[in-house]
Structure 1
């Protein structure tokens, strides 16, 4: 009888472990991050799926400007101003074939400087 009870306890513990190990972390724990982005005062011509205007961005003052093909939810760009933004990045599980796999959301506009 003791062997059966021990076997049942062991099976129960193993089952509980397997169930919890299959759970996905909460979204706030997985796939989200915050970063600072510097947005240039002018856009540039670029080509994504079609010709378009891209924001010029960099993460540090010493970096070179790069094209930003996506948008930043909650942010409205105004030409002639350089911005420093704090943005949240979130991985998109099933992005469209022609879209970004990362969603950008404005957390805070740190500065807006006339250029």
Structure 2
């Protein structure tokens, strides 16, 4: 009887730890560069955006605290946010989740 209870408990723990396969299929780990200044960008309205790999990035990086004046190298998990056919004008196709700040370098004007 105890053995059955143990096996049933173990099975529940394993099921509870499962990861959504869809998220795994559409994500990848990569290194990105975040620029030292915010740039003007336009979506629904005018706003400021970070530059990621030299292009305006219309969102935030989950877990990352951006400070102007520094160039960052980040290790991130890149996850597809939208169907490529239906990306809003002021959004990014991808979402970035911070894994690690590799470097933070002060940039003088």
TM-score (norm. length: structure 2): 0.66
Aligned to 1:66: 55
Structure 1: any 5+ residue segments left out of the alignment?
1-24, 59-64
Shift of 1:29: 3.7
**Separation (CA, whole Å) in 2 of partners of 1:29 and 1:45:** 33
Specify which of 32, 39, 48 is matched with residue 37 of structure 1.
Answer: 32
Aligned to 2:72: 83
Structure 2: any 5+ residue segments left out of the alignment?
1-19
Q: Deviations over 1:24-61 (max 9, x none)?
A: x8246411101111111111111122111111221xxx
Alpha-carbon spacing, 1:68–1:32, altered in 2? closer, same or farther (3 Å)? same
Q: Which has the larger radius of gyration?
A: 1
Structure 1 counterpart SS, 2:48: strand
Q: CA RMSD in A?
A: 2.2
Tell me the number of residue pairs that the alignment of Structure 1 and Structure 2 aligns.
85
